[in-house]
Amino acid sequence: MPDLAQWLIDHLVLGLLVLTRLGALLMAMPAVGVGVPRRIRLFLAVAVTALLLPVLDAHANTANLPTTSNLIELAIAVAREGLVGMLIGVTVQVIVTGLQLAGEAITSTGGMQLGDAIDPTTQSSMPALARLIGMLITSVMLIVGGHRLVLTVLLGTFTQIPVGQVELPESMLHLLLSTLGGAMAAGIRVAAPVIAALLLSNLVTGLISRTLPQINVLAIGLSINSLAMLVVCALSIGSAAYLFQDQLSEGIDRLTRIWEQPG
């Protein structure tokens, strides 16, 4: 028992840096950063750190690790480790947020803004349809094993980026921008059929108002728009899952290559 306690003290800095990288990922990762209680996230991070620490200790260069006597250098190292884990989690979260743009566009076009609610992830007002798409995408990610892919990428970073030797290349920003652009384009593709149907229903409503001016066009128009939105959305919302899988695979590929080519 004293030997174990001494070993933990000797590897305190290494364990702290590994725990920071894992904890930052769990905080930024969809379905884990918000849906899982903090104690469970902390337990997962500590458990995985305990499993990785003996393996990383055998390959880590302890001479390059900061010491507890230099708190400034240690704080900088902890911040860099957190950025690595957060980059991976934020990349996946950006894909989910970009696809939720489809719900925002559909709701604003169909005039259903009264159904807004607080999104627990962003803590901002979000249409119910956008939250539905977000929950659908998160469920698909868990079903296809996206969380395991994300953890695999993080474990691979310990080989590409040794603990305590993190360098932040400029391609990190390019990765986020390209991922955000692709996710927003995918969200527009999801919303395109519904928006086209809503525009067509508005055209039909306009023709009815010109032909039969005595009819209450406002009531008819809202009913036709709601019906068109619900029917076409039910038929096309599944495309968000397929587009998410494509965007997730592209994001994983970019993450695995980001540190292979510095800068």
The span from the CA of 221 to the CA of 76, in Å, is: 59
| Torsion angle, alpha carbons of 53, 59, 65, 69, to 10 | 60
197 burial via Cβ count (<10 Å: 0-12, 13-18, 19+): buried
* pTM (predicted TM-score): 0.80
Give the pLDDT confidence score for residue 59 in this predicted structure.
66
Q: What is the pLDDT of residues 155-205, one digit of tens each?
A: 888 887 777 777 777 677 788 888 888 888 888 888 888 888 888 888 888
Give the pLDDT confidence score for residue 263 in this predicted structure.
43
Model confidence band, residue 260 (pLDDT cutoffs 50, 70, 90): low
Q: What is the pLDDT of residues 125-156, one digit of tens each?
A: 777 888 888 888 888 888 888 888 888 888 88
Determine the longest span between alpha carbons in the chain, in angstroms.
90
Give the pLDDT confidence score for residue 257 in this predicted structure.
79
Q: What is the pLDDT of residues 79-98, one digit of tens each?
A: 888 888 888 888 888 888 88
* Residue 255: CB atoms within 10 Å: 22
The span from the CA of 186 to the CA of 192, in Å, is: 10
**235: pLDDT strictly greater than 80:** yes
CB of 17 closer than 8 Å to CB of 78: yes
CB of 69 closer than 8 Å to CB of 152: no
